[in-house]
């Protein structure tokens, strides 16, 4: 019985380290951020106004008070009027910070006061239809987020959010390895893609997959960068390698722009 207990305990420990990306070999590696990507789904302008007032006046200031320096808020360049969205990107230095953030917020009386209209909304007048939440873990190739170094007008900027799904976990691991060991991250950096983050999705609605966000001064700037990427000799060599074949089964590209109060 004692042996069985030890076996179960060991198995639990292995699973826990796997989920949190903290294997024995990686425990001594550079500390990686965890990200929360929260997507508000709504249908009316009244809901949109309520969400934005909450984010700008209550949520983001409260996160700043907890020590989170930068929070990103984005809207699609082309909204689907049947399912409008606002994307909120929050970086956390640890899993504990991510898990306990709501507890911190609800202990903040200023947050509760500033966000009262949203927080205490009646169930018949909910400020959104649904919230979709994804939890991401930063790649070793870029273990922390970055505020993009852009010079164009904020209203013209293009933030490109990409999601790469894989047929199996093994293929997903292979695509993640392509970004890190294959130095796809380094290629993006060399070509000036101004990435906000690269990450593996560890909890979300479409699994297994990875997500990353690159930024540009405008749409023309974006197209020029991708043309240079596709014609780059290193990319042609990397993508031609047999070891990286068939590691993406589906890709989604979402073009976003930052709100006036976004930190990214």
Residue closest to 183 by CA, chosen among 133, 227, 223, 241: 241
130 & 236 share domain: yes
Summarised one tens digit per residue, pLDDT across range 224-248 is 999 999 999 999 999 999 999 999 9
Kindly indicate the confidence band of residue 6, based on its pLDDT and cuts at 50, 70 and 90: very low
Identify which of 64, 26, 69, 9 has the alpha carbon closest to the alpha carbon of residue 200: 26
The terminus-to-terminus CA distance of the chain in angstroms comes to 54
For residue 264, being part of any structural domain is answered with no
Q: Is residue 11 located within the same domain as residue 55? A: no
The answer on 200 and 146 residing in a single domain is: yes
Contact 86, 73 (CB under 8 A): yes
CATH number at residue 161: 3.30.70.100
Look at residue 92 and tell me if it is in a domain. Answer: yes
51 within some domain: yes
Is 263 inside a domain boundary?
no
Does 110 map to a domain? yes
- If asked whether residues 12 and 113 sit together in one domain, one would say no
228 inside domain? yes
Among 17-21, 36-40, 198-202, which is the least confidently predicted range? 17-21
Tell me, yes or no, whether 172 and 44 share the same domain: yes
Distances (CA, A) of 76 to 40, 88, 139, 141, 186: 12, 12, 25, 27, 27
How many structural domains comprise the chain? 2
pLDDT over 60 at 14, yes or no: no
Among residues 75, 73, 199, 205, which one has the least CA distance to residue 132? Answer: 205
Which residues span the domain enclosing 25?
Answer: 1-30
Query: What pLDDT, in 10s, does the model give residues 121-156?
Result: 999 999 999 999 999 999 999 999 999 999 888 889
Tokens describing residue 93: 């230095």
Q: Are residues 230 and 156 in the same domain?
A: yes
User: Is 89 a member of any domain?
Assistant: yes
**How confident is the model at residue 30, as a pLDDT?**
59
Bin 262: left if φ > 0, else alpha if -120 < ψ < 50, else beta: beta
pLDDT at 7: 40
Does residue 227 lie within any of the structural domains? yes
**Do residues 22 and 141 share a domain?**
no
pLDDT value of residue 152: 84
Phi-psi region of 37 (alpha: psi -120 to 50; beta: other; left: phi over 0): beta
129 plus 47 within the same structural domain: yes
Q: DSSP code of 242?
A: G
Provide the pLDDT for residue 126.
97
222 touches 158 (CB < 8 A): yes
Report the share of the chain in percent with pLDDT over 70: 89
How far from chain centre, in Å, is Cα 58? 21
Residues 149 and 209 placed together within one structural domain of the fold:
yes
pLDDT at 154: 85
Residues 240 and 110 in one domain: yes
Query: Is the pLDDT reported for residue 59 higher than 90?
Result: yes
* Residues 115 and 77 occupy one common structural domain: yes
Are both 223 and 247 inside the same structural domain? yes
């Amino acid at each position: 019985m004692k042996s069985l207990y030890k076996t179960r305990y060991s198995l639990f420990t292995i699973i826990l380290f796997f989920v949190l990306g903290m294997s024995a070999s990686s425990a001594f590696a550079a500390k990686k951020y965890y990200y929360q990507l929260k997507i508000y789904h709504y249908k009316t302008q009244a809901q949109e106004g309520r969400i934005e007032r909450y984010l700008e006046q209550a949520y983001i200031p409260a996160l700043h008070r907890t020590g989170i320096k930068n929070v990103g808020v984005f809207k699609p360049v082309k909204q689907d009027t049947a399912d409008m969205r606002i994307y909120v990107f929050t970086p956390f230095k640890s899993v504990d910070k991510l898990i306990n953030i709501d507890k911190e917020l609800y202990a903040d009386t200023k947050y509760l006061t500033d966000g009262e209209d949203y927080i205490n909304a009646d169930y018949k007048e909910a400020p959104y239809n649904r919230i979709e939440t994804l939890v991401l873990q930063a790649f070793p190739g870029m273990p922390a987020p970055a505020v993009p170094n852009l010079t164009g007008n904020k209203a013209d900027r293009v933030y490109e959010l990409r999601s790469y799904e894989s047929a199996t976990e093994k293929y997903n691991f292979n695509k993640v390895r392509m970004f890190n060991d294959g130095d796809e991250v380094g290629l993006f950096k060399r070509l000036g893609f101004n990435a906000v983050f690269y990450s593996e999705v560890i909890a979300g609605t479409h699994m297994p997959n990875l997500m990353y966000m690159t930024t540009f001064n405008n749409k023309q700037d974006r197209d020029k960068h991708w043309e240079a990427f596709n014609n780059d000799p290193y990319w042609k060599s990397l993508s031609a390698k047999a070891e990286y074949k068939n590691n993406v089964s589906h890709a989604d590209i979402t073009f976003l722009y930052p709100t006036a109060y976004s930190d990214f």
